[in-house]
A and B are shown apart, each in its own frame.
Chain A
């Protein structure tokens, strides 16, 4: 499978950008020249220059440094929120698929109910109650994003559980837990991982939107979304404050989507290469 992914140019391109982003996020303090929260009113709203590659914002903070620190938040929220969704989705989905009957009905009807609420407004409402901070945003994005993954793994397990190797395992005396974790999930996880990668892109967008509305990452912590929000106020005089975070979001989401599509093609034997 790895071979097929590497043969897919767009997947390699996406993975390359993601790797670069991760390196930037990890080594943020080394790359950034300034403290992202350091305010210097005298150098407010300077255009891109050698001193400030991406210019400064209305409070004179170096935009390049802020963008770099914001990438940490974007990736953190993307991966942790979706990791949570993956965990919940895989547990619920595999229980529903494996046990069937009442367990299946209860879990999947619960998932259907969750899917009835428009996701973004549900997130907004919950944030309004529990208060906006990074941790809450992650948990809420995660807890509202597991349903699709649960459906995917359930469908996989429904067909996998009748395979002969599962019967053989039962004949050997394996417990339900053993069969689910050793046979069913490893064989059925493929499509879920694809959905995970797309989900990360979605989570980064959601975080940006929340922060833009002021309900996500709170200032002075930088996030692409709240840099955008601050940029909106100075749009007429400092185009760079809004263009660069916008581009960052675009490129990141694109990279995850490319990787996701590459993964999907690699997992699907019917796609012609």
Chain B
């Protein structure tokens, strides 16, 4: 037994109230094993992990119970003892590598520092060690990475550097808190592979916190499922994935989007061409790079390159690609929010609306739900009576409660906020909805609710969707046609079944092979 947690309870003080975030959990981690800790946001998985090395803010939280590690209860350890454990025995990596690295220090300096904090070796040796580590996490050209500031690296490189730092002292336990959530799929699968290799090589244990059963399937040996601060199911990965016992686990597993198309089930829709609603011809858009004091460097990023796209009425086009591939820019071009440098978009006026990824930033925090939903009709000068009927109508379509119309956005959950955003778009009777990663920041159960809602709405209102996503599993569920974007270009555009069964472009194949 490497780590034993007994009856761990965590209370938070929040606005004068005491909230019980973790309600008495027990678990153990063996040597050299990967344990997946799964749960939705708010289930207490991250705070449980943070409390192991006493990283929770002191004043606002009370942690009770027992965390036995190396024959000691870490919860009783003093600041000096816990500091010696952190980093050298138990290391952590986090979701957002850009915020866990110090932006004003070079990568090399940061890793040196981590090593020097625990080991009495010379600076020169520490640097040698650092370069070796960066090689170990498969970073090309470790010397260059060493001398770079974090912002010069890509997201994947940063996460690798974080991992290098975490394993620099050969910890016995690595706590990985959603380390791949912010990364593109192709990079995600590489990072997971790397973690598995390192685990074998260094004989360490890993607690892998995630909300994604796809990742669990790939990496974990044992699984703990958390809900509302309790562990509701625990077992071997194979057992949990194939024969879940708890109702909640079953529901979670069912909600995981999967690619279901098999070559033999392929049904080619007869090619009856509907009315083309949106047409983009030779679209180009570039952004100037502004840097430092002199601003305009003359360099440009070509965000959208020679894009041609036709979208038929009532169909869903999935727009797939990694971050920076130009999906969102294309969406904004289609909507007319920005003007193309060259090329043309043909779209009926005022019929397209947009739903964004982050329901926290897409709703004005100072407006009531009613006013948010009715923004479109207000702008178009609807009368009071009209507004009431529109409000009732769209709220029932999006399954929101009319009684809650006077609440502010922060009083709603993530899923409800996304419904509000959809209701706002529907309030002006659009024909086209541009959905920019509408479910990427939602928990899986809510994700499947929203996807189902979108499908139902499409049927009843005969809407046309442009569905932007990096998640091929979700796109498979939603789209009739799929356009794959890479570096601003549409590299492949075909019917859904075609893409998922016989993709032509090497990039599409790479994307598909990275899907978990």
- B-binding residues in A (CB < 8 A): 163-165, 167-175, 178, 182-183, 186-187
User: Do residues A168 and B366 form an inter-chain contact, with CB atoms below 8 A?
Assistant: no
Interchain CA distance A53-B410 in the complex, whole Å: 54
User: Do residues A168 and B424 form an inter-chain contact, with CB atoms below 8 A?
Assistant: yes
**B335 CB contacts on chain A under 8 angstroms:** 171
Interface size class of B (residues with CB under 8 A): 20 to 34
Q: Which has the most chain A C-beta neighbours within 10 Å: B350, B364, B366, B372?
A: B364
Interchain CA distance A148-B199 in the complex, whole Å: 56
User: Do residues B379 and A178 form an inter-chain contact, with CB atoms below 8 A?
Assistant: yes
- Given A164-B356, A167-B337, A167-B356, are A172 and B379 also a contact pair (CB < 8 Å)? yes
User: Do residues A187 and B366 form an inter-chain contact, with CB atoms below 8 A?
Assistant: yes
User: Do residues B379 and A174 form an inter-chain contact, with CB atoms below 8 A?
Assistant: yes
Interchain CA distance A172-B354 in the complex, whole Å: 9
* Chain B 130-170 interface residues, beta-carbon cutoff 8 Å to A: none
User: Do residues A173 and B350 form an inter-chain contact, with CB atoms below 8 A?
Assistant: yes
Contact pattern, B 356-384, Cβ under 8 Å of A = 1, otherwise 0:
11100111111100001001100110000
Task: Tell me whether B499 is interfacial, beta carbon within 8 Å.
Answer: no
User: Do residues A187 and B379 form an inter-chain contact, with CB atoms below 8 A?
Assistant: no
- Given A171-B335, A172-B375, are A165 and B362 also a contact pair (CB < 8 Å)? yes
User: Do residues B376 and A173 form an inter-chain contact, with CB atoms below 8 A?
Assistant: yes
**A170 CB contacts on chain B under 8 angstroms:** 337
User: Do residues A165 and B354 form an inter-chain contact, with CB atoms below 8 A?
Assistant: no
User: Do residues B366 and A171 form an inter-chain contact, with CB atoms below 8 A?
Assistant: no
Question: Taking the nearest CB of chain A, how far is it from the CB of B347, in angstroms?
Answer: 12
User: Do residues A167 and B364 form an inter-chain contact, with CB atoms below 8 A?
Assistant: no
Task: Tell me whether B352 is interfacial, beta carbon within 8 Å.
Answer: yes
User: Do residues B365 and A168 form an inter-chain contact, with CB atoms below 8 A?
Assistant: no
Contact pattern, B 324-344, Cβ under 8 Å of A = 1, otherwise 0:
000000001001010000000
User: Do residues B375 and A186 form an inter-chain contact, with CB atoms below 8 A?
Assistant: no
Task: Tell me whether B428 is interfacial, beta carbon within 8 Å.
Answer: yes
- Could you write out 19 A-B pairs with CB less than 8 Å apart? A163-B362, A165-B361, A165-B362, A165-B363, A165-B364, A168-B353, A168-B356, A168-B375, A168-B425, A171-B352, A171-B353, A172-B353, A172-B424, A173-B350, A173-B380, A173-B428, A174-B379, A187-B364, A187-B366
Question: Taking the nearest CB of chain B, how far is it from the CB of A8, in angstroms?
Answer: 15
Question: Taking the nearest CB of chain A, how far is it from the CB of B61, in angstroms?
Answer: 15
Query: Which B residue's beta carbon lies closest to that of A189?
Result: B366
Give 12 A-B pairs besides A164-B356, A167-B356 with Cβ atoms closer than 8 angstroms. A163-B361, A164-B357, A165-B361, A165-B364, A165-B372, A168-B353, A168-B354, A168-B421, A171-B353, A172-B428, A174-B375, A183-B364
Contact pattern, B 269-303, Cβ under 8 Å of A = 1, otherwise 0:
00000000000000000000000000000000000
User: Do residues B365 and A164 form an inter-chain contact, with CB atoms below 8 A?
Assistant: no
Question: Taking the nearest CB of chain B, how far is it from the CB of A180, in angstroms?
Answer: 13
Interchain CA distance A175-B375 in the complex, whole Å: 12
Question: Taking the nearest CB of chain A, how far is it from the CB of B129, in angstroms?
Answer: 36
Q: Among A164, A172, A186, which residue has its beta carbon within 8 angstroms of that of B362?
A: A164
User: Do residues A169 and B337 form an inter-chain contact, with CB atoms below 8 A?
Assistant: no
**A172 CB contacts on chain B under 8 angstroms:** 353, 375-376, 379, 424, 428
User: Do residues A164 and B379 form an inter-chain contact, with CB atoms below 8 A?
Assistant: no
Interchain CA distance A173-B354 in the complex, whole Å: 12
**B362 CB contacts on chain A under 8 angstroms:** 163-165, 168
Question: Taking the nearest CB of chain B, how far is it from the CB of A149, in angstroms?
Answer: 19
Interchain CA distance A174-B377 in the complex, whole Å: 10
Question: Taking the nearest CB of chain B, how far is it from the CB of A116, in angstroms?
Answer: 22
Question: Taking the nearest CB of chain A, how far is it from the CB of B104, in angstroms?
Answer: 19
User: Do residues B354 and A187 form an inter-chain contact, with CB atoms below 8 A?
Assistant: no
Query: Which A residue's beta carbon lies closest to that of B350?
Result: A173
Q: Which has the most chain A C-beta neighbours within 10 Å: B332, B376, B428?
A: B376
User: Do residues B366 and A186 form an inter-chain contact, with CB atoms below 8 A?
Assistant: yes
User: Do residues B337 and A171 form an inter-chain contact, with CB atoms below 8 A?
Assistant: yes
Query: Which B residue's beta carbon lies closest to that of A7?
Result: B16
Query: Which A residue's beta carbon lies closest to that of B361?
Result: A164
Question: Taking the nearest CB of chain B, how far is it from the CB of A167, in angstroms?
Answer: 6
Question: Taking the nearest CB of chain A, how far is it from the CB of B168, in angstroms?
Answer: 31
Q: Among B352, B354, B365, B376, which residue has its beta carbon within 8 angstroms of that of A167?
A: B354
Interchain CA distance A170-B425 in the complex, whole Å: 12
Interchain CA distance A163-B337 in the complex, whole Å: 13
Contact pattern, B 368-411, Cβ under 8 Å of A = 1, otherwise 0:
00001001100110000000000000000000000000000000
6 smallest beta-carbon distances between A and B, as pairs: A164-B362, A172-B376, A164-B356, A165-B364, A186-B366, A164-B361
Interchain CA distance A265-B366 in the complex, whole Å: 19
Question: Taking the nearest CB of chain B, how far is it from the CB of A186, in angstroms?
Answer: 5
* Chain B 426-463 interface residues, beta-carbon cutoff 8 Å to A: 428
**A187 CB contacts on chain B under 8 angstroms:** 364-366
Interchain CA distance A175-B364 in the complex, whole Å: 16
Question: Taking the nearest CB of chain A, how far is it from the CB of B249, in angstroms?
Answer: 34
Question: Taking the nearest CB of chain B, how far is it from the CB of A187, in angstroms?
Answer: 6
**B356 CB contacts on chain A under 8 angstroms:** 164, 167-168
Interchain CA distance A173-B421 in the complex, whole Å: 16
Q: Among A163, A167, A175, A178, which residue has its beta carbon within 8 angstroms of that of B332?
A: A167
Interchain CA distance A183-B366 in the complex, whole Å: 8
Query: Which A residue's beta carbon lies closest to that of B59?
Result: A272
**B425 CB contacts on chain A under 8 angstroms:** 168
Query: Which A residue's beta carbon lies closest to that of B349?
Result: A173
User: Do residues A164 and B358 form an inter-chain contact, with CB atoms below 8 A?
Assistant: yes
**B358 CB contacts on chain A under 8 angstroms:** 164
Interchain CA distance A182-B362 in the complex, whole Å: 14
Q: Which has the most chain A C-beta neighbours within 10 Å: B365, B375, B380?
A: B375
Contact pattern, B 12-38, Cβ under 8 Å of A = 1, otherwise 0:
000000000000000000000000000
Query: Which B residue's beta carbon lies closest to that of A162?
Result: B361
**B379 CB contacts on chain A under 8 angstroms:** 169, 172-175, 178
Interchain CA distance A250-B357 in the complex, whole Å: 52
**B424 CB contacts on chain A under 8 angstroms:** 168, 172
**A169 CB contacts on chain B under 8 angstroms:** 375, 379
**B350 CB contacts on chain A under 8 angstroms:** 173
Query: Which A residue's beta carbon lies closest to that of B352?
Result: A171
Question: Taking the nearest CB of chain A, how far is it from the CB of B140, in angstroms?
Answer: 34
Query: Which B residue's beta carbon lies closest to that of A160?
Result: B364
Question: Taking the nearest CB of chain B, how far is it from the CB of A192, in angstroms?
Answer: 14
Interchain CA distance A182-B364 in the complex, whole Å: 9
Q: Which has the most chain B C-beta neighbours within 10 Å: A172, A173, A178?
A: A172
Interchain CA distance A46-B332 in the complex, whole Å: 77
Question: Taking the nearest CB of chain A, how far is it from the CB of B1, in angstroms?
Answer: 39
Interchain CA distance A170-B361 in the complex, whole Å: 15
Question: Taking the nearest CB of chain B, how far is it from the CB of A5, in angstroms?
Answer: 15
**A182 CB contacts on chain B under 8 angstroms:** 364, 367, 375
Question: Taking the nearest CB of chain A, how far is it from the CB of B43, in angstroms?
Answer: 25
**A175 CB contacts on chain B under 8 angstroms:** 379
Question: Taking the nearest CB of chain A, how far is it from the CB of B121, in angstroms?
Answer: 38
Interchain CA distance A182-B367 in the complex, whole Å: 9
**A186 CB contacts on chain B under 8 angstroms:** 364, 366
Query: Which A residue's beta carbon lies closest to that of B356?
Result: A164
